[in-house]
Amino acid sequence: MRIPIHREGWPFIAIFAVINFLIWKFSAVAAVVFLPLTLWCVAFFRDPERTPPPGENRIVSPADGKLLPIVEAVPPEELGLGPQPRRRLSIFMNVFNVHVNRMPVSGTVVALAYRPGRFFNASFDKASVHNERMSARVRPAGASDPAGDLAVVQIAGLVARRIVCDIKEGDAARRGARYGMIRFGSRLDVYLPSSAKIVVQEGSVTTAGETVLAELQG
């Protein structure tokens, strides 16, 4: 069975495989002990196909993981969305989740901003404020009012040290399409416009590109 792998993973898989081979040259037992780490590396960078549900008004999860408590929070100031708090949906990815990130809505990327920061555990609420992040502001297809824009934020975690973002300002976004990933263990935040209706519950397990988080109204 072929396991689809994200391109970011091949250098790491190669390193783990070479180390495993060198260990085997000295000790078969030690190589067997190390093998689960090599297999984990392969699994970490897996990139399965996903099919978004019908309905362009639906906002889908940008990440596999667990939905943390839903809170009201001010979106990243670098996106220019203003100081008004918005409902924030946060998905925590552990080291066993698929880490390829997908676009929550179709539309246009109107702003993109990187901000360096700390590396607190991504499950902590303060990670959204203090950790290294890459923020994207997306205007849903058909929307003309900036108040209807949505923010999706890639946040580095305790172990994560690299955020990969493959989109640029002005790009057309497609709901459920791949747009980046984070190595190794991290978090995705989605800041909703006021018109969105949340349809998912706290603690839910989400699947990137498929689980519906909310629905745009009007």
Is 135 catalytic? The answer is no
| Catalytic residue (choose from 186, 194, 195, 204) | 186
Edge-to-edge strand list for the sheet holding 178-183: 100-102, 178-183, 162-165
Distance separating alpha carbons of residues 134 and 150, to the nearest angstrom: 14
User: Quick one: tokens of 96?
Assistant: 């066993």
- For 130, 156, 184, the CA distances from 162, given in Å and listed in that order, are 16, 7, 8
CA-nearest of 182, 34, 11 to 98 is 182
Q: Considering Cα of 169, then 59, then 103, then 123, what sign does the dihedral take?
A: positive
**Torsion angle defined by CA atoms of residues 67, 69, 70 and 76, in that order, rounded to the nearest 10 degrees:** -90
| Euclidean distance between the first and the last CA atom of the chain, given in angstroms as a whole number | 44
Q: H or E element: which one contains 71?
A: strand 71-73
Strand ranges inside 9-106, DSSP E:
58-60, 65-67, 71-73, 86-93, 100-102
| Catalytic site positions | 186
